[in-house]
Amino acid sequence: MKTIYLIGFMGSGKSTIGGKLGEVLIENYLDTDREIEKVYKQNIPEIFSEKGEETFRQYETAILKKVNQPIISTGGGIVERKENIHIMKQNGTIIYLATSFKEIFKRLEKDVNRPLWNKDIADRKALYNKRVHLYEKHADEIIVTDGKSPEMIVNEILMRLRNKNK
């Protein structure tokens, strides 16, 4: 099976959907953010505050190169580096979980663990607008998540993959 990479903005549900997809397909699942925390023995807010975003991005690429689970949920900034896109394109199928800014705002209302979300609304919106084009450009499949339960999204992904492999 080719690796399924889930991409999308913070809060689009990559980790949530990745875990459920792993259960349904009975395949190993890995989240690059959790793997970074495990390998580098520090949580993400600490990495950002003590080492900076550039170091985090280096860790992220190193992890992406190393892992090969059938289902991988990525961090929201995975599309920031061309090298990451190249790795994902070579190894698998990229699925973009497209979620509106309004919906993300609702989902991450109380979140304090995402350093790049802990900003004022103009910065959040600017990051979202910059990233949306990259997700769209590099995705093999785009799944809109607004108004859908995780189970509905998993089913939609399974249907798309089935149609792709026909």
Ligand X SMILES: O=C(O)C1=C[C@@H](O)[C@@H](O)[C@H](O)C1
The one of ligand X, ligand ATP, Mg ion, none whose footprint includes residue 115, by CB under 5 to 8 A per kind, is ligand X
**DSSP class per residue in the chain:** -PEEEEE-STTSSHHHHHHHHHHHHT--EEEHHHHHHHHTTS-HHHHHHHH-HHHHHHHHHHHHHH---SEEE--TTGGG-HHHHHHHHHHEEEEEEE--HHHHHHHTTT--S-TTTSS-HHHHHHHHHHHHHHHHHH-SEEEE-TT--HHHHHHHHHHHHHHHT-
34 marked ligand binding residue:
no
Q: Report the nearest approach of ligand ATP to the CB of residue 98 (Å).
A: 11
User: Which one of residues 3, 12, 15, 99 is an interface residue with Mg ion (CB under 5 A)?
Assistant: 15
User: Which one of residues 8, 13, 77, 92 is an interface residue with ligand X (CB under 6 A)?
Assistant: 77
Look at the chain and count its residues.
166
**Residue count at the site for ligand X (CB under 6 A)?**
9
10 lines the binding site for ligand X (CB under 6 A): yes
State which residue, 144 or 165, has the beta carbon closest to ligand ATP. 144
Which range binds ligand X by CB under 6 A, 18-26, 111-119, 132-140, 145-153?
Answer: 111-119
84 lines the binding site for Mg ion (CB under 5 A): no
Binding site for ligand X (CB under 6 A): 10, 33, 44, 75-77, 114-116
Indicate the annotated binding residues: 11-16, 33, 57, 76, 114, 131
